[in-house]
Structure 1
Amino acid sequence: MGSKRGVSPTNKMFAWVRKQSMKLKIGMIITVSLLALLVLKFTIKDQDHFFVASETVHFGGILILIHTLIKQKTCSGLSLKTQELTAIFLAVRLLCSLILEADIHTVLDFSTLVSTVWVIYMIRFKLKTTYMADMDDFPLYYLLVPAAGLAILVHPYLPFPLFGRILWAFCVYMESVSVLPQLRMMQKAKMIEPFTAHYVFALGISRFFGFAHLILQVYETGGKYLFLIGAGYIWPPTVLLSEIVQTFILADFCYYYIKSVMSGHLLVSLQSPV
């Protein structure tokens, strides 16, 4: 008679967390996030490195995605619409970066944009027979139109042409919701390819670094940082809200991803609605 296999401490922990109330779960997420921010604050001196790390992780996630697409010759479970939205906001951000700074961020944005365009090419032409178009049905105008309209109404007031300021705002808003078609597609599908899960998790890590950069800058300047990125009373809190929206959109997925990986199982679906 074989002995029963013991339950790992990790599985016990996730089982305990799952039984807790939503209020307690949110509290634990906030606590862990604050602890992570404190560690980053005291270990990384130049806050700009957070932004570089965010863009580097995103680029790395795209490279891994390209390698997997070429090797496995399938794009099953990957949202073309999320890739197209990503290409749009990267192109806009690259244009703004060329005009405003032309530094390491410009190089990273260009590299990520080229890689994203390659992924779009692979899905549309090389691997189109494996593309799950029926699952990838999130209307893009649901995101593009509101983002454009909000950018026209709420944008930074800086010494740059109005069109450039609107483009910058559009990029911020578009980035915050660009992953929604991918998450929606994963919820509708009964199976999520591991490479898709790894890619979205990389986006979550990338977003955390970007959010950490903003929060630490706000903390260290006593809130003045938000007003340094654009005068006015509406734009600063809107930027902060956009960052929070994007972070929490990916936080739910990252929770289930970590739970799956730790349990040794393939991530099957998100259990809460987007």
Structure 2
Amino acid sequence: MAIVRKSRRNPVHVVSSWVARQPPKVKAFLAVVSGITALIVLRFVVHNHDNLFVAAEATHAVGISVLIYKLFKERNCAGLSLKSQELTAIFLAVRVYCSFVMEYDIHTVLDSATLATTLWVIYMIRFKLNATHDEDLDNFPIYYVVIPCAALALFVHPTTSHNIVNRILWAFCVYLEAVAVLPQLRVMQNTKIVEPFTAHYVFALGIARFFSCAHWVLQVLDSRGYLLTALGHGLWPSMVLLSEIVQTFILADFCYYYVQSVVGGQLVLRLPSGVV
């Protein structure tokens, strides 16, 4: 008598396959529920929520390290967006300046280090490895984000006692940070295939953005809304939170397919049409 044995399937793979078959609205609902659940867990697990901001910066640093390793090991910048790196350098430079003149602290040092490494990456892509950079794929017009962010900063910025120019610059770097990854997503959309190091880098950005968003949301909840008042009045406090949420959701879809690819044991990430 033959014995039929049922192969055991990986539960994580079963769940990810089920999610993949759901319509976009269901996926969006599941993403929101997952995000809220993660926030609840972080609120009880991480007692000092300032550590979440440090975790965000550390994760970003890990992503940059992966990027540098890629450039050193492979000696090519295929799949990377020079424009995303340039936008990152712009908002970091503005944020470092604002930190120096408005509220110098340890984050100023961390941002300065990240800016230095980002400038090095730009130098490598533009001058040392420019032969491997495909400008036709990296075709996102950066003025599509720089000009709207600058215009929005003119009208919605902090209402603190600092100099008006510094307040506008502060708002500008917050808005630009929220959308700086868009050119990188455009490159991946154009290629549809993302090699491992680039995928690791973008995934690290997604995790960093989630930690940063969680930091702000939990700080507001812990202070029972006082933090919003401390940031000023008008639309600015809400725009700070909205910018953090936008950054997180811009990368959420990519992070889902990244995790699905890792669970499936795929070394190269293949994106369906319309993901980013």
TM range (shorter): over 0.9
Deviations 1:193-238 (A, max 9, x none): 211111000000000010001110121222232221122x211222
| 1:4, distance to aligned residue in structure 2 (A) | 10
Say which SS state the counterpart of residue 261 (structure 2) adopts: helix
TM-score (norm 1): 0.94
Cα distance, 1:117–1:101 mapped onto 2, change above 3 Å: same
Aligned 8 A contact 1:90 1:113 in 2: yes
| 1:103, distance to aligned residue in structure 2 (A) | 1.7
| 1:269, distance to aligned residue in structure 2 (A) | 2.1
Partner residue, 1:223:
225
Structure 2 stretches lacking a partner, 5+ long = none
Report the Cα distance in structure 1 between the residues aligned to 2:70 and 2:24, rounded to whole angstroms: 36
| 1:273, distance to aligned residue in structure 2 (A) | 4.7
Alignment of 1:231-270 (within 5 A): 231=233, 233-265=234-266, 266-270=268-272
| 1:271, distance to aligned residue in structure 2 (A) | 3.5
Aligned 8 A contact 1:83 1:120 in 2: yes
Report the Cα distance in structure 2 between the residues aligned to 1:186 and 1:17, rounded to whole angstroms: 22
How many pairs align?
Answer: 271
Alignment of 1:53-202 (within 5 A): 53-202=55-204
Structure 1 stretches lacking a partner, 5+ long = none
Report the Cα distance in structure 2 between the residues aligned to 1:80 and 1:11, rounded to whole angstroms: 34
| 1:12, distance to aligned residue in structure 2 (A) | 1.7
Aligned 8 A contact 1:61 1:203 in 2: yes
What is the RMSD of the two structures over their aligned residues, measured on CA atoms? 1.7
Moved more, 72-81 or 187-196: 187-196
Report the Cα distance in structure 2 between the residues aligned to 1:120 and 1:271, rounded to whole angstroms: 28
Aligned 8 A contact 1:186 1:270 in 2: no
Deviations 1:147-193 (A, max 9, x none): 00100111010010001100100000000000000001100114212
Report the Cα distance in structure 2 between the residues aligned to 1:201 and 1:190, rounded to whole angstroms: 16
Report the Cα distance in structure 2 between the residues aligned to 1:270 and 1:89, rounded to whole angstroms: 30
Report the Cα distance in structure 1 between the residues aligned to 2:215 and 2:192, rounded to whole angstroms: 36
Moved more, 174-183 or 236-245: 236-245
Deviations 1:5-57 (A, max 9, x none): 76433322111112223333223222222222122212222222111111111
TM-score (norm 2): 0.93
